[in-house]
């Protein structure tokens, strides 16, 4: 075979394999919410039933609730189980509950000695990831573990702090693992070239490591085929890296962060075709990058469009919906035009929270515990539902599955029916 033809055939086969891996990742979960930001890792419920325009008693029906410990890790849903990762006493706890009625199915623990430097919550920050009957957790102290979904029994464990010197930064390790095929990807923030890394899902073995970057708090995303077949996007404390999934080779980088040292890159990149949006607070704002001519090209950039402190915005029909402003000073919900960065509307002061899209509706849960349902429209912010459903101090991302909202505050994990 001629060399050029051989290269073309190889490239086509890599694209097909990568596409099949991503497709299997999405199709295997159906209406579940098995990882951070949902089935497609983009804050969208792809198979959601219609949500109610109003509720008879002003609030959705609470189907069940259970007590939980410390942590900012949100719940995930897979195989009719709600999986919760939290801290009780000196243990990080992984538990599974029946999605239908909240019955505890199993409970497993691992010791932890994580101590928060600022006296905040000392529980895990990162949502679990569920894939092919296994649960993967990344604790605030850097412990990466794999367990069986059926009974929670541990399969393997890696202490990334001890092995790679992964620094806890300001607020502990917060990266939610990305699983693609037999690989697990992590913003590690380790030393000795272990800024980002890939591990085997079979046994936890290190497959490769790359960069000297500190981790920040964002989680990795599958890179689109337009950038490179089989790539992963890592948004570290220093900026964006596109890394080859198989080899760990850094394909392209784009330095981007706030100038002040006491800052974080926490919102996960939003990916659409060959474009990637980054946003952060502390004067950074937002930037839309386009992969063109084998390099990142800046489409627009500025602090006057969107400045997301920690919650990842969501794209829908050419619009971007996300929280703007620092969490401690009170934020607002904004809609901006994806292509231009121009502001379409601002909610006014709401405080911070988490936003997702189900069908043509925005589902918003504020730190105050207030639920908002509104049209995912660029015309104006016009909530159909506003009601108090949980306690205050709520920073954990929620899950959406089959028209039900699964969320936690500082004390309770609860499931609410949002269907008509």
**300-322 pLDDT per residue, tens:** 998 889 999 889 999 999 999 99
As a whole number, the mean pLDDT across the chain is 90
Ramachandran quadrant class, 294 (left: phi over 0; alpha: psi -120 to 50; beta: rest)? left
| Bridge partners (DSSP) listed for residue 361 | 358, 375
Measured distance between the N- and C-terminal CA atoms of the chain, rounded to whole angstroms: 61
Radius of gyration of the chain from its Cα atoms, rounded to whole angstroms: 20
pLDDT tops 80 at residue 22: no
pLDDT at residue 8 in the model: 39
Using one digit for the tens of pLDDT, what is the confidence trace for 52-87? 999 988 999 999 999 999 999 999 999 999 999 999
Number of domains comprising the chain: 1
Residues 6+ away with beta carbon under 8 Å from 55: 61, 385, 387
Give the HSE-up count for residue 237: Cα atoms under 13 Å, Cβ half-sphere: 22
pLDDT at residue 321 in the model: 98
Structure tokens at 116: 């928060």
Average pLDDT over residues 181-206: 96
In angstroms, rounded to a whole number, what is the distance separating the alpha carbons of residues 174 and 256?
Answer: 19
Sheet strands side by side (includes 314-316)? 314-316, 319-324, 332-337, 343-349
Using one digit for the tens of pLDDT, what is the confidence trace for 247-270? 999 999 999 887 777 678 889 999
Low-confidence winner among 29-38, 147-156, 382-391 (lowest mean pLDDT): 29-38
pLDDT at residue 368 in the model: 96
CATH number at residue 307: 2.130.10.10
Ramachandran quadrant class, 12 (left: phi over 0; alpha: psi -120 to 50; beta: rest)? alpha
Average pLDDT over residues 107-127: 91
pLDDT at residue 141 in the model: 94
Using one digit for the tens of pLDDT, what is the confidence trace for 209-235? 999 998 888 999 999 888 878 999 999
In angstroms, rounded to a whole number, what is the distance separating the alpha carbons of residues 380 and 335?
Answer: 8
Give pTM, 2 decimals: 0.92
Structural domain harbouring 255: 3-417
pLDDT at residue 48 in the model: 84
């Amino acid at each position: 075979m001629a060399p050029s033809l051989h290269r073309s055939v190889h490239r086509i086969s890599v694209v097909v394999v990568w596409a099949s891996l991503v497709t299997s990742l999405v199709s295997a979960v159906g209406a579940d919410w098995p990882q951070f930001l949902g089935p497609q890792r983009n804050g969208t419920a792809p198979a959601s039933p219609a949500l109610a325009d109003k509720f008879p008693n002003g609030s959705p029906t609470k189907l069940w609730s259970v007590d939980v410990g410390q942590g900012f890790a949100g719940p995930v849903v897979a195989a009719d189980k709600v999986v919760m990762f939290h801290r009780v006493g000196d243990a990080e706890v992984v538990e599974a509950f029946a999605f239908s009625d909240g019955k505890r199915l199993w409970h497993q623990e691992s010791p932890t000695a994580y101590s928060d430097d600022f006296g905040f919550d000392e529980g895990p920050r990162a949502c679990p990831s569920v894939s092919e009957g296994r649960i993967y957790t990344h604790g605030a102290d850097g412990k990466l573990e794999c367990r069986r979904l059926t009974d929670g029994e541990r399969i393997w464990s890696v202490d990334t702090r001890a092995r790679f010197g992964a620094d806890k930064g300001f607020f502990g390790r917060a990266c939610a693992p990305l699983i693609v095929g037999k690989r697990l990807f992590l913003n590690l923030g380790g030393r000795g070239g272990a800024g980002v890394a890939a591990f085997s899902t079979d046994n936890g073995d290190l497959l490769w490591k790359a960069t000297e970057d500190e981790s920040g708090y964002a989680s990795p995303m599958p890179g689109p085929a337009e950038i490179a077949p089989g790539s992963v996007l890592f948004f570290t404390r220093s900026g964006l890296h596109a890394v080859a999934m198989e080899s760990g080779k850094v394909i392209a980088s784009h330095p981007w962060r706030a100038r002040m040292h006491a800052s974080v890159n926490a919102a996960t990149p939003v990916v659409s075709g060959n474009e990637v949006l980054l946003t952060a607070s502390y004067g950074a704002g937002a930037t839309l990058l386009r992969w063109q001519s084998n390099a990142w090209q800046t489409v627009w950039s500025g602090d006057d469009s969107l400045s997301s402190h920690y919650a990842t915005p969501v794209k829908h029909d050419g619009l971007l919906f996300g929280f703007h402003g620092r969490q401690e000073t009170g934020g607002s919900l904004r809609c901006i035009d994806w292509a231009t960065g121009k502001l379409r509307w601002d909610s006014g002061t709401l405080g911070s929270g988490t936003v997702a899209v189900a069908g043509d509706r925005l589902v918003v849960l504020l730190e105050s515990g207030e639920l908002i349902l509104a049209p995912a429209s660029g015309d104006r912010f016009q909530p159909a539902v506003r009601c108090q459903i949980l306690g205050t101090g709520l920073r954990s991302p929620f899950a959406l599955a089959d028209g039900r909202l699964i969320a936690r505050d500082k004390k309770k994990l609860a499931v609410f029916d949002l269907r008509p």
